[in-house]
Amino acid sequence: MEAAFYIAAIVAIVSTVLTITRSNAVHALLYLIVSLLAVAVVFYAMGAPLVAALEVIIYAGAIMVLFVFVVMMLNLGKRAAITEGQWMQGNIWLGPVLLSAVLVAEVLYLILRARLTESAGGVVDPKQVGLALYGPYLIGVELSSMLLLGALVGACHLGRPVLEKAEGRYDRNSDGARAHSGGNLIRAGARRAPNAP
Amino acid sequence: MRRNLIFILMSIEIMLNGTGVAFVAAGSRWGQPDGQIMFLFILAMAAAEVSVGLALVLRLYHLHHNLDADAANEMRG
Amino acid sequence: MLGLLWLLPAIPFASALALAVLRFSRKQVAWIAVGATAASTVVSVLVTIAFLSAPPVAHAYTQVLWTWIDVGGFRPEIAFYLDPLSLIMTLVVAFVSFLIHLYSTEFMIDDDGYSRFFAYMNLFVASMLTLLLANNLLLLYLGWEGVGLCSYLLIGFWYRDPANGAAGRKAFVVTRIGDTAMVIGLFLLFHDLGTLQIQELMLRASQNWHIGSPVAVAAALLLLGGAVGKSAQLPLQTWLPDAMAGPTPVSALIHAATMVTAGVYLIARTHVLYSLAPAAQFAVALVGAATLLIAGFSALTQWDLKRVLAYSTMSQIGYMFLALGVGAWPAAIFHFMTHAFFKALLFLAAGIVIDALHDEHSIFRMGGLRTRLPIAFWTFTIAGCSLSGLPLITAGAFSKDWIIWGAWSGPNGNAGLWIVALAGVMLTTLYTFRMIFLVFFGEASSEVTKRPGKAMLIPCFVLAFLSIVGGYVKAPFARFLETVLPWTEGAHSVPITELVSEVIAALVFLMGVYLAYIFFLRKRAYAAALASSAAGSALHQFWFSDWGMDWLYDRVFVRPLVWFARVDKGDFIDGFYAGVARMNELAWRILSRTETGRLRWYAAGIAAGSVVFIAVVLFL
């Protein structure tokens, strides 16, 4: 088990690094899927079989399929990969790397300071998880259902084909309307009569 | 430096996954189910985020015909 | 049946709300608005029948709906109080409103703000009925401010012309001065007597205060301030002529028949207070007498048909104040009723004339309309005769003779006031027949482009009928009001009898008609010569400008205030707030730079923020 954990962890890290350095979107996606599967193995090795299964089903299955669909629909060709490669050039990554380095340092400091003892954990089986989920975390479940509903509605709304035209029209008109009032909405219409009776 | 919206979304997925690993590891360290439950919530959140995010990506691609995150800066101050 | 009382203000209010919020076609708007006022009229008639057939205990009925506020012994209720006084006022207001709404459906038909107009009008009716039926002074004040608001909105109804907006503001600000006095009066009353419920207030006032006590005088004078503002009496009368900027039905309903008489109602309602403060009551009489003369002279010189009528309204309300002041309470209310009929009719007929001549307001450019607008001519003449008091036939003669007689024989009356009242008759007759002769007789000078339809004529006929027969109910009217407003005739000995007074008034009327005939029909050159002589033209100018009141107020109040405001513009406090605004603008300039619209900057910002946050958590 121990060996499986370490191997899977190394695979996960390597594939993740490859994911973020590819310039071809499909390649990156494939590495990402590998990374997710490796993480699933890590979960299983840590004694969380339910989450491991969900990682495979939802993350590597559903979400990644979405990504693949979108990439296929956009049909990014070779030119996109070249542009991507050009964008990755230069020293512009210095800043983010510096920031991330500081973050990593802080996290390492935290971990070392905590002086972790040997793991006491065993397997946390799905039954325990289910009981806790529908016990103290019930409100969280409700909230995530609402979140998902919101996402559903939002995605439906954004996906409507008629939207584009209407949006464009309002976009242009509202600017025109604003300019019409002279822009000064507070003073608009506050003109005084020269000699009011 | 990434400017491609698809890559940015993927990176977000990686980060969320990283936090998930941290939660599950912590839960397994103390033998509690809470870590896994947090991961489930993260999963739900990621699903929601990805669906809306990808819909936005499609729409932006229709509008600008590229995936440059810097091109979509209509809301600058 | 009396339980229906709450519907009286509720129906027009609901209709106003519906008209303001929902969208209807013109036809629907007319049906809803007129229907609401018709329903109010029907309810008021039903209530009247119930009240007359089975008079409630002590001739008063109170309907408590709910407690409005309950704090520290201050407990005003939303409650309606019906007694003969409020009953008569309500009946007249509801009925005249109904007729004028009917008239407006045709008069305003081409206007863009049709629905808005009727929403305001209905809101006005609701507020006015609340004012009249209120059981406590706070609820009365709510209605009082409500009618003020509607008056403001309707004067400035055609808001595209800034002059109309200015007229609305003027009316609002000037009446507000009076309202402030009234509020202080309410504070004083509550502070000293501990209630605002009117009947209780009157009872406690007569128990706690002796006649002529300074508190009573102060309270009565402060309430008089409110009444003077709302009823356009001296010295707050300047807003009413400008209020004619509104549509003609508004002038008819609000600025002639109903709202401007709210001050009369307030004083009649609290007449016990005035009986306790004879000085204040005498002030009421003086205000009325002065206004009726000043406004009468001003009316003589105006060229705008509606402005003549506006000054005439002021003058007639001056009569009502005079009647209140001398203690002839029922005479004031009787004159209110007849005045509501004939003055509304005058405005409606004037509206027909103005509409027919394509918005022509100048009486010098009218003329010869007798044959071309016969109905307008006859109704206008009937109303004019009623206004100037054609004896025996018209309603106005009965009410005015009563006031004239009361001016001498009433508890506070004297010969001086009687002479003023007679002089008022002379002036009224002169300016009324000046209008009639100039508008309807002589040579035709402009084209008639429009003829009134049924909806405009029916209200005129009804009001003309009432302007004549309204006077014959004087005796039962006085008996009906007796329980609320006592009328003590012959409080002191008068060397003449009522009949003599009436005959003298009739003679004055005839003389006025004759003079008007000479000056404005037969020999117009006389009038022109008189007006162009040095003294005459100066006087003409003086009267025309409302005795220089506007000029005086402008110099004494408005300009110093504007000057002071201008000087004070850059003071410390203004500087402080301007500084705050400038700081905000600066901050906006800086922060809007960070709003680049670039996702990567935002991501970098989030990362940097979390670094700092974790660092703070770690090391602090």
Q: What is the pLDDT of residues C88-116, one digit of tens each?
A: 899 999 999 999 999 999 888 888 888 89
pLDDT of C147 > 60? The answer is: yes
**Measured between beta carbons, which residues in chain A are less than 8 angstroms from residue B39?**
51, 54
- Backbone φ, ψ for residue C66 (5° rounding): -160, 165
Cβ atoms A35, B20 nearer than 8 A:
no
- In whole angstroms, give the CA distance from residue C128 to residue C90: 9
Q: What chains are in contact with A, requiring at least 3 Cβ pairs below 8 Å? A: B, C
Cβ atoms C136, C61 nearer than 8 A:
no
| Tens of pLDDT, residues A134-172 | 988 999 999 999 999 999 999 888 877 654 455 555 544
Q: Is B69 on the interface with C (CB under 8 A)?
A: yes
Nearest-by-Cβ selection for A63 from B31, B50, B56: B50
- In whole angstroms, give the CA distance from residue A44 to residue A55: 10
Instruction: Tell me A60's DSSP state.
Output: I
**Measured between beta carbons, which residues in chain C are less than 8 angstroms from residue A102?**
611
Task: Choose between A57 and A82: higher pLDDT.
Answer: A57
SS3 string of C461-517?
HHHHHHHHHHHHHHHHHHHHHCCCCCCCCCCCCCCCCHHHHHHHHHHHHHHHHHHHH
Residue C304 confidence class, pLDDT cut points 50, 70, 90: confident
Task: Choose between C6 and C546: higher pLDDT.
Answer: C6
Quick one: pLDDT at residue A174?
Answer: 47
| Tens of pLDDT, residues C235-252 | 888 888 888 888 889 988
Closest Cα of chain B to C238: distance in Å? 52
- In whole angstroms, give the CA distance from residue C387 to residue C397: 8
- Written as one letter, the residue type at A187 is R
Nearest-by-Cβ selection for C596 from B3, B8, B76: B76
pLDDT of C135 > 70? The answer is: yes
Residue A182 confidence class, pLDDT cut points 50, 70, 90: very low
Instruction: Tell me B68's DSSP state.
Output: B
DSSP 3-state assignment of C65?
Answer: strand
Q: How many CB atoms lie within 10 A of CB B57?
A: 24
DSSP 3-state assignment of C304?
Answer: strand
Residue A35 confidence class, pLDDT cut points 50, 70, 90: very high
- Nearest by Cα to C128 from C252, C12, C250: C12
Cβ atoms C551, C467 nearer than 8 A:
no
> What residue ranges in C169-237 does DSSP mark as E strands?
none
Residue C489 confidence class, pLDDT cut points 50, 70, 90: low
Closest Cα of chain C to A197: distance in Å? 7
Q: Do B69 and C600 touch (CB under 8 A)?
A: yes
Tell me the ipTM for this assembly: 0.89
DSSP 3-state assignment of C63?
Answer: strand
**CA-based nearest residue in chain A for residue C600:** A96
Partners of C62 in beta bridges: C81
Tokens of C457: 């004529």
Nearest-by-Cβ selection for B54 from A66, A90, A133: A66
DSSP 3-state assignment of A164?
Answer: helix
Quick one: pLDDT at residue C408?
Answer: 85
Quick one: pLDDT at residue C395?
Answer: 86
Helices (H), A46-122: 49-54, 64-74, 78-88, 94-114
- In whole angstroms, give the CA distance from residue A137 to residue A121: 22
Residues in chain C: 620
Quick one: pLDDT at residue C525?
Answer: 76
Residues contacting residue C400 through CB under 8 Å, at least 6 positions apart: C319, C335, C389, C425, C505
Q: Do A48 and B36 touch (CB under 8 A)?
A: yes
Q: How many CB atoms lie within 10 A of CB B29?
A: 16
Residues contacting residue A162 through CB under 8 Å, at least 6 positions apart: none
Cβ atoms C107, C56 nearer than 8 A:
no
- Give the angle subtended at the CA of A88 by the CAs of A84 and A91, to the nearest 5°: 160
- In whole angstroms, give the CA distance from residue B30 to residue B25: 9
- In whole angstroms, give the CA distance from residue C350 to residue C360: 10
Tell the residue number behind the tokens 């440059």, with chain if given: B68
| Tens of pLDDT, residues C411-464 | 888 888 888 888 999 999 989 988 888 888 877 777 777 778 888 889 899 999
Q: Do C594 and B75 touch (CB under 8 A)?
A: no
**Measured between beta carbons, which residues in chain C are less than 8 angstroms from residue B74?**
597
Residue A192 confidence class, pLDDT cut points 50, 70, 90: very low
Tell the residue number behind the tokens 């005769």, with chain if given: C385
Quick one: pLDDT at residue B1?
Answer: 59
Residues contacting residue C206 through CB under 8 Å, at least 6 positions apart: C272, C276
Dihedral angle at the C-alpha atoms of A70, A74, A79, A85, nearest 10 degrees?
-30
Q: Which domains does chain B have, with CATH numbers?
A: 5-72 (1.10.287.3510)
Count of A-C CB contacts under 8 Å = 37
C-alpha separations of A1 from A117, A161, B23, B26, C154 in Å: 19, 51, 20, 18, 87
Nearest-by-Cβ selection for A99 from C165, C611, C618: C611
DSSP 3-state assignment of C81?
Answer: strand
Quick one: pLDDT at residue C41?
Answer: 93
Dihedral of alpha carbons C215, C179, C248, C364, sign: positive
Beta pairing, strands C61-67 & C77-82: antiparallel
Cβ atoms C255, C151 nearer than 8 A:
yes
C-alpha separations of C160 from C106, C150, C173, C562 in Å: 22, 18, 20, 25
Q: Which helix (H) or strand (E) holds B37?
A: helix B34-64
Residue B3 confidence class, pLDDT cut points 50, 70, 90: confident
- Backbone φ, ψ for residue C65 (5° rounding): -90, -55
Tell the residue number behind the tokens 């202080």, with chain if given: C184
Residue C618 confidence class, pLDDT cut points 50, 70, 90: confident
Q: Which domains does chain A have, with CATH numbers?
A: 1-88 (1.20.120.1200)
Tokens of C368: 């010869």
**CA-based nearest residue in chain A for residue C614:** A106
Cβ atoms C316, C387 nearer than 8 A:
yes
**CA-based nearest residue in chain B for residue C589:** B77
Using CB atoms and an 8 Å cut-off, which of residues 1-30 of chain B contact chain C?
1-3, 8
**Measured between beta carbons, which residues in chain A are less than 8 angstroms from residue C245?**
197
| Tens of pLDDT, residues C527-563 | 777 777 877 788 878 877 777 788 888 888 888 888 8
Quick one: pLDDT at residue C44?
Answer: 92
Closest Cα of chain A to B7: distance in Å? 7
Q: Average pLDDT for residues C337-361, to the nearest whole number?
A: 88
Taking CB atoms within 8 Å and a gap of at least 24, the contacts of A109-115 are: A109/C618, A110/C618
Q: Do C607 and A196 touch (CB under 8 A)?
A: no
Nearest-by-Cβ selection for C593 from B74, B75, B77: B77
Q: Do C600 and B73 touch (CB under 8 A)?
A: no
Q: Average pLDDT for residues C43-56, to the nearest whole number?
A: 88
- In whole angstroms, give the CA distance from residue C198 to residue A119: 84
Tokens of C403: 């006031």
Residue A33 confidence class, pLDDT cut points 50, 70, 90: very high
- pLDDT above 70 covers a percentage of chain C that reads 99
Range with the largest mean pLDDT of B28-32, C26-30, C192-196, C479-483: C26-30
| Tens of pLDDT, residues C385-398 | 888 888 878 888 88
Q: Do B33 and A131 touch (CB under 8 A)?
A: yes
Q: What chains are in contact with C, requiring at least 3 Cβ pairs below 8 Å? A: A, B
**CA-based nearest residue in chain C for residue A196:** C163
The mean predicted confidence, pLDDT, of chain C is: 87
Cβ atoms C287, C343 nearer than 8 A:
no
Taking CB atoms within 8 Å and a gap of at least 24, the contacts of B55-62 are: B55/A154, B55/A155, B55/A158, B55/A159, B56/A158, B57/A70, B57/A74, B57/B5, B57/B6, B57/B9, B58/A70, B58/A73, B58/A74, B58/A158, B58/A159, B59/A158, B59/A163, B59/A164, B60/B5, B61/A74, B62/A164
Tokens of A103: 């973050």
Q: Average pLDDT for residues A16-26, to the nearest whole number?
A: 87
Q: Do B75 and C592 touch (CB under 8 A)?
A: no
**Measured between beta carbons, which residues in chain B are less than 8 angstroms from residue C599?**
8, 69-70, 72
pLDDT of C269 > 60? The answer is: yes
Residue C202 confidence class, pLDDT cut points 50, 70, 90: confident
Tokens of C456: 């405009």
Quick one: pLDDT at residue A190?
Answer: 39
Taking CB atoms within 8 Å and a gap of at least 24, the contacts of A49-52 are: A49/A123, A49/A125, A49/A126, A50/A125, A50/A126, A50/A129, A50/B36, A51/A129, A51/B20, A51/B24, A51/B36, A51/B39, A51/B40
Dihedral angle at the C-alpha atoms of C387, C390, C393, C397, nearest 10 degrees?
60
Residue C496 confidence class, pLDDT cut points 50, 70, 90: confident
Q: How many CB atoms lie within 10 A of CB A175?
A: 10
pLDDT of A188 > 50? The answer is: no
**Measured between beta carbons, which residues in chain A are less than 8 angstroms from residue C604?**
95-96, 99
| Tens of pLDDT, residues C554-613 | 888 888 888 888 888 777 888 888 899 999 999 998 888 887 777 778 888 888 888 888
**Measured between beta carbons, which residues in chain C are less than 8 angstroms from residue B60?**
none
Q: Is the peptide bond before C278 cis (omega within 30 degrees of 0)?
A: no
pLDDT of A191 > 50? The answer is: no
CB neighbour burial string for C268-293, b if at least 16 within 10 angstroms, e if fewer:
bbbbbbbbbbbebbbbbbbbbbbbbb
For A111-115, C160-164, C261-265, C426-430, which range has the lowest pLDDT when averaged over its residues? A111-115
pLDDT of A173 > 60? The answer is: no
Task: Select from B34, B38, B54 the residue whose CB has the most chain A CBs within 10 Å, as the one to mutate to test that interface.
Answer: B54
- In whole angstroms, give the CA distance from residue B68 to residue B73: 10
Tokens of B12: 């977000």
Q: Do B52 and A35 touch (CB under 8 A)?
A: no
The mean predicted confidence, pLDDT, of chain A is: 78
Residue B77 confidence class, pLDDT cut points 50, 70, 90: low
**CA-based nearest residue in chain A for residue B49:** A151
Task: Select from B3, B4, B23 the residue whose CB has the most chain A CBs within 10 Å, as the one to mutate to test that interface.
Answer: B4
- In whole angstroms, give the CA distance from residue C227 to residue C215: 18
For chain C, which residues lie within 8 Å of any Cβ of chain A, measuring from their own Cβ?
A: 162-163, 165-167, 170, 242, 245, 604, 607-608, 610-611, 614-615, 618
DSSP 3-state assignment of C61?
Answer: strand
